[in-house]
C-alpha cells in the first residue's frame, strides 16, 4: 500500500484506499485527523454556543472556554436566519403545525405550507411549478438521478449530462447513474464542442451549471450558455444556490442578472443560504415537476420538511419588502473585496458574497486558517478536491450584518498572516 504523505494530503486521499477495508481506512484517517489536530489545523466542526451571525461564540480547538470570533463562514448572507419576522414565522409554524410533518409527501406528509412554498418559489422566478426537497443537495442529486439514465444493456445510448467542471458535489452525485462529459469552467468553446459531438447520440442531453460558483464566487454567463445549449437541442439546468437573494436588481440571482428567466429550462436551489433556513427546490415545467413528484426517490420516499419552513415564506417576502439587506450586503462585499485587493491579495473573479483569498498549497492554507482563528477570525480553508491542489484558499462569506469594524479586523488579520506566510501577490511575483 502506498504511504499517504500527511503533509500534502487532503480528506479526498482517504476516500477509497486500495486494499484496505473501511475499518482499516477509518483507522488511517483517524491518524490523519490526529496529525492535523496536533498542528492546530483541524479547524472543522468548531462548536458554536451562539446563533449564526457575524460574530459567534466558539469552542476553539484545544480550548475549554468559548471565544467570540468574527465569522465569515455562514451562507446566511442577508442574516435572515435571525430576522425577527422570520423567527416569528417559524414559531407560528410550530404553534400551528407542531414540530414534524409525519410522512413522505405522497402519503400524508404534504401540508398547506409545503404547497404555499412550492407556489411561492416558482412564482419568485416567474414560473408555474416547483417541487421541494429537504436539502439543496437532494434537490440536485435526486432530480438529476431521476431525469437522466445511462446506456442500457444493449448499449443503446440513453442520456447525457454535460457539466461545468466546477459544479457542486451534489450535481456530480446526481449524475453517477448517467453518462457524463465535463467542460472546463465557463469555457464556452469547449461546451459547444462537447455538445456538437454529442448531438443525435442521446435521448436527453442536459447542460448543468451553477449560477454562482461556490468556491470562486464567480458566475456563469447564462445567456450565452443557454443559447449554445438550445442551439444543439439540449436543456439547461442552473443551480443558483449562492445567487438567490444576493444578485440581480430584485434578488432573483444570476438568472435575473442575464434576464434569462425564459431561457433556463430547470432551476435548482436551496433555502439554506440567503433564505436562512433549510431545504431545496427544483423549478421546471408543470409536467416535469409532476413527474419528479412521483418518480424522484429522495422526494417520494422521504418525510417532508418541518413546519419551520414557514420561515422561508417570510424570508422570500423580505427579499422584496426589505431590499436594504441586499444593499448592506453589497456595501460589505465591496468594502472587504477592495480592502483585500488593495492589500495585494488574489481574490480571483468573484462577483458575489463568496470571496476566495488564494493561498496556494494545502499546508500553507491550513496554517493561514489557524493564524486567522488565533486572531479571532473564523474562516474556511478550502482544499482539494473542492479546488485543485495548487489552488487552495481561504474562503470568506460576507453577511449583510457584518459591521465595518468586523471587516477592518478581518483585513488587519490578513495583513498579519501575510507577514508570516507571504501569500499576497507581491510575494508571488518575487518568485
Are 77 and 403 in contact by the 8 Å Cβ rule? The answer is: no
- Grid cell, residue 101, equals 410533518
What's the min distance (Å) between Cβ of 210 and ligand PLP? 5
What's the min distance (Å) between Cβ of 75 and ligand PLP? 7
What's the min distance (Å) between Cβ of 366 and ligand PLP? 21
Given the C-alpha cell 457524463, which residue does it identify?
Answer: 180
Q: Which of 139, 81, 95 has its CA nearest to residue 306?
A: 95
Rank residues 114 and 232 by Cβ distance to ligand PLP and give the closer one. 114
What's the min distance (Å) between Cβ of 309 and ligand PLP? 12
Contacts of 346 (CB under 8 A, 6+ apart): 357, 358, 424, 425, 428
Are 242 and 211 in contact by the 8 Å Cβ rule? The answer is: yes
Rank residues 170 and 229 by Cβ distance to ligand PLP and give the closer one. 170
As to burial, measured by CB atoms within 10 angstroms (0-12 exposed, 13-18 middle, 19+ buried), residue 343 is middle
Catalytic residue from among 273, 299, 337, 358? 273
Q: Which of 174, 170, 240, 237 has its CA nearest to residue 207?
A: 237
- Residue of minimal Cβ distance to ligand PLP: 136
Catalytic residue from among 81, 101, 214, 424? 214
Rank residues 113 and 271 by Cβ distance to ligand PLP and give the closer one. 271
Would you call 273 a catalytic residue per the annotation? yes
What's the min distance (Å) between Cβ of 376 and ligand PLP? 25
Rank residues 86 and 423 by Cβ distance to ligand PLP and give the closer one. 86
Rank residues 101 and 272 by Cβ distance to ligand PLP and give the closer one. 272
Rank residues 9 and 310 by Cβ distance to ligand PLP and give the closer one. 310
Rank residues 196 and 297 by Cβ distance to ligand PLP and give the closer one. 297
Catalytic residue from among 83, 168, 232, 242? 242
For 66, the 3-state DSSP assignment is coil
Are 308 and 117 in contact by the 8 Å Cβ rule? The answer is: no
What's the min distance (Å) between Cβ of 286 and ligand PLP? 24
Rounded Cα gap, residues 426 and 99, in angstroms: 54
Rounded Cα gap, residues 125 and 252, in angstroms: 7
Q: What share of the chain is helix, strand, coil (3-state, %, to 5)?
A: 45, 15, 40
Given the C-alpha cell 507581491, which residue does it identify?
Answer: 426
Rounded Cα gap, residues 381 and 417, in angstroms: 14
As to burial, measured by CB atoms within 10 angstroms (0-12 exposed, 13-18 middle, 19+ buried), residue 2 is exposed
Chain residues in the site for ligand PLP (CB under 6 A): 135-137, 140, 168, 170, 210, 214, 239, 241-242, 270, 272, 280
Neighbours of 273 (CB within 10 A): 28
Contacts of 18 (CB under 8 A, 6+ apart): 1, 2
Rank residues 198 and 260 by Cβ distance to ligand PLP and give the closer one. 260
Listing DSSP states for 6-18 in one string gives TTT--GGGGSS-T
Contacts of 80 (CB under 8 A, 6+ apart): 86, 245, 274, 275, 276, 315, 318, 325
| Active-site residue list | 214, 242, 273
Amino acid at each position: 500500500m502506498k504511504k499517504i504523505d500527511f503533509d500534502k494530503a487532503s480528506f479526498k486521499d482517504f476516500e477509497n484506499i486500495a486494499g484496505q477495508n473501511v475499518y482499516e481506512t477509518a483507522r488511517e484517517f483517524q491518524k490523519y485527523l490526529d496529525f492535523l489536530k496536533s498542528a492546530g489545523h483541524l479547524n472543522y466542526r468548531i462548536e458554536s454556543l451562539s446563533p449564526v451571525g457575524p460574530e459567534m461564540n466558539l469552542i476553539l480547538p484545544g480550548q475549554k472556554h468559548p471565544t467570540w470570533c468574527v465569522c465569515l463562514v455562514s451562507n446566511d448572507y442577508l442574516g435572515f436566519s435571525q430576522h425577527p419576522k422570520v423567527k416569528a414565522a417559524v414559531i407560528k409554524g410550530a404553534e400551528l403545525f407542531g414540530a414534524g410533518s409525519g410522512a413522505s409527501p405522497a402519503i400524508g406528509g404534504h401540508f398547506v405550507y409545503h404547497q404555499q412554498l412550492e407556489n411561492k418559489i416558482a412564482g419568485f422566478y416567474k414560473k408555474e411549478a416547483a417541487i421541494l426537497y429537504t436539502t439543496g443537495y437532494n434537490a440536485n442529486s435526486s432530480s438529476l438521478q431521476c431525469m437522466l439514465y445511462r446506456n442500457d444493456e444493449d448499449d443503446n445510448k440513453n442520456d447525457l449530462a454535460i457539466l461545468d467542471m466546477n459544479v457542486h458535489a451534489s450535481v456530480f452525485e446526481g449524475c453517477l447513474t448517467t453518462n457524463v462529459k465535463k467542460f472546463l469552467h465557463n469555457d464556452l468553446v469547449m461546451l459547444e464542442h462537447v455538445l456538437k459531438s454529442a448531438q443525435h447520440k442521446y435521448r436527453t442531453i442536459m447542460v448543468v451549471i451553477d449560477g454562482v460558483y461556490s468556491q470562486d464566487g464567480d458566475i456563469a454567463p447564462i445567456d450565452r450558455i443557454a443559447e449554445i445549449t438550445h442551439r444543439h437541442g439540449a436543456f439547461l439546468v442552473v443551480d443558483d444556490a449562492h445567487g438567490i437573494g444576493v444578485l440581480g436588481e430584485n434578488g432573483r440571482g444570476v438568472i435575473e442578472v442575464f434576464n434569462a428567466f425564459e431561457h433556463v429550462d430547470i432551476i435548482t436551489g436551496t433555502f439554506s443560504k440567503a433564505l436562512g433556513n433549510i431545504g431545496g427546490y427544483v423549478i421546471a415545467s408543470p409536467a416535469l415537476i409532476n413527474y419528479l413528484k412521483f418518480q424522484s426517490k429522495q422526494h417520494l420516499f422521504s418525510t417532508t420538511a418541518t413546519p419551520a419552513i414557514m420561515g422561508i415564506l417570510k424570508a422570500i417576502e423580505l427579499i422584496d419588502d426589505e431590499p436594504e439587506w441586499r444593499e448592506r450586503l453589497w456595501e460589505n462585499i465591496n468594502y472587504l473585496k477592495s480592502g483585500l485587493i488593495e492589500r495585494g491579495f488574489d481574490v480571483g473573479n468573484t462577483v458575489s458574497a463568496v470571496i476566495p483569498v488564494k493561498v496556494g498549497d494545502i499546508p500553507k492554507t491550513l496554517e493561514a486558517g489557524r493564524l486567522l482563528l488565533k486572531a479571532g477570525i473564523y474562516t474556511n480553508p478550502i482544499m482539494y478536491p473542492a479546488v485543485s491542489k495548487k489552488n487552495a484558499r481561504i474562503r470568506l462569506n460576507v453577511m449583510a450584518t457584518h459591521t465595518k469594524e468586523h471587516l477592518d479586523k478581518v483585513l488587519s488579520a490578513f495583513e498579519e498572516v501575510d507577514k508570516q506566510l507571504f501569500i499576497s501577490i507581491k510575494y508571488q511575483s518575487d518568485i
